[in-house]
Amino acid sequence: MEIPQLIMLPGPTNVHPRVYAAMCKPMIDHRSKEFRVLYMRLLESVKKVFQTENDVFILTSSGTGGVECAASNLLLPGEKIILPVAGNFGERFAESFSNYGIKVIRINIEPGKSPKLEQIEAAIRNNPDAKAVAIIYNETSTGTTVRDLSKICKMAKDLGMITIVDAISILGGDDLPVDEWEVDFCIAASQKCLAAPPGLALVSVSRDAWKLIERAKPRSDYFDLIKYRKYRDEQKETPFTPAINLFYALDEAINIVLEYGFDKWIERHKITSKAYYSAIFAMGLPFLAEEWCRSNTVIAVKMPNGIPAKLLRELLAEKYRVVVAGGFGGLRNSIFRIGNMGLINPRDILTTLSSIESAFFELGYPIKSGIEAAIPILKNLD
């Protein structure tokens, strides 16, 4: 029966009815007082979730647009950056920079692992002329998080390099105090742990990042941050027509987060991810990520016994109406990924876990139940 699906993806997520209601507010002029009030308020809210006093901007694009914004504004063709690649999004990250003629010093990381301070340090030592270290904080394709991020940012800062952090699939789901950790350029998106609809990228820009941007005209017009800053400062507007309804939606989505409390929101993701890991461990299913770098926001689970992930996912989506993701590239059929993002709550987690158990039973591969392992962890969640 085609009831609405429960979206347990690493983005997009389930969206609160309040957010949909805000998205349908009457249309306004994007060159009006009404828009200026919305835009200025939203920029302040975005600063709160980045935990920064730096400039922030909202781009009408997917998260990848935010990445392109970094690549086209910060660096000049021929300049070097250090960039660990731990999965599919790392690959894309590297491609975005090299497309603009930037020389990418890759550090290849095995799937399931995450780059460590020592690896970045070695790369910096071999490339002291690099301008930046670019890190995918949470590799969505493998469910791993860079646990050394604060140390990496500190080291880069000490050595005169900026850090570019893709936090798309983690901002709001784990610690990321942009100012405290001195992240120079941070990228996030609307449809992940903030639980707004997809279509907006968020970026934060430090003073050191501005210094690089101001050296030359940005290569892209659409993602030109100098223009974004000028329009904000002179008119409190965006240079190009923004996705007004998505601005309203993001505004309300962040309101929900801030009403709950941003620290508690992050803490919630930590608790619920623990519930997932404990339950799935109890089911006897192995994880792709090594324990020390497991993500709070993306749980990547290896399929047992050679069963294709596609079979599990289709059964879950069609009969149980629970949507989880598959793997990328070579991992397409060998893992499935659960998003632990946004409006996460005990009911939906238990639904997801029990549906997975039921689906494995239907696929002729009964597994142990993990529900009992999840229950005590979820007990203290409000």
Q: How far is the CB of 9 from its own copies (least distance, A)?
A: 6
Number of Cβ within 10 Å of residue 211's Cβ equals 12
Structure tokens belonging to residue 278: 């404990």
Task: Judge whether 185 and 206 are in contact, CB under 8 Å.
Answer: yes
Q: How far is the CB of 301 from its own copies (least distance, A)?
A: 17
Q: How far is the CB of 254 from its own copies (least distance, A)?
A: 17
**Burial of residue 212, with CB atoms counted within 10 A of its CB: 0-12 exposed, 13-18 middle, 19 or more buried:** buried
Distance from C-alpha of 120 to C-alpha of 82, rounded to nearest angstrom: 8
Nearer to its own copies, 35 or 210 (CB): 35
Measured between alpha carbons, how far is residue 41 from residues 20, 54, 196, 295 in Å?
Answer: 19, 15, 16, 31
**Burial of residue 111, with CB atoms counted within 10 A of its CB: 0-12 exposed, 13-18 middle, 19 or more buried:** buried
CA 302 from chain centre, in angstroms, equals: 21
Structure tokens belonging to residue 52: 């920064």
Q: How far is the CB of 361 from its own copies (least distance, A)?
A: 23
Q: How far is the CB of 53 from its own copies (least distance, A)?
A: 28
Distance from C-alpha of 352 to C-alpha of 374, rounded to nearest angstrom: 12
**Burial of residue 311, with CB atoms counted within 10 A of its CB: 0-12 exposed, 13-18 middle, 19 or more buried:** middle
Measured between alpha carbons, how far is residue 278 from residues 53, 69, 287, 382 in Å?
Answer: 37, 38, 11, 19
Q: How far is the CB of 239 from its own copies (least distance, A)?
A: 8
Nearer to its own copies, 14 or 144 (CB): 14
Q: How far is the CB of 375 from its own copies (least distance, A)?
A: 27
Question: What is the SS3 assignment for 327?
Answer: coil
Nearer to its own copies, 173 or 218 (CB): 218
Nearer to its own copies, 220 or 255 (CB): 220
Q: How far is the CB of 26 from its own copies (least distance, A)?
A: 4
Nearer to its own copies, 5 or 127 (CB): 5
> CB-hemisphere CA count at 13 Å for 168?
27
Nearer to its own copies, 1 or 27 (CB): 27
Nearer to its own copies, 28 or 271 (CB): 28
Point out which residues bind its own copies (CB under 8 A): 4-5, 7, 9, 11-15, 20, 23-24, 26-32, 60-65, 67-68, 71-72, 92, 95-96, 99-100, 189, 191, 197-199, 217-223, 239-246, 249, 317, 323, 325-326
Distance from C-alpha of 59 to C-alpha of 222, rounded to nearest angstrom: 9
Nearer to its own copies, 303 or 324 (CB): 324
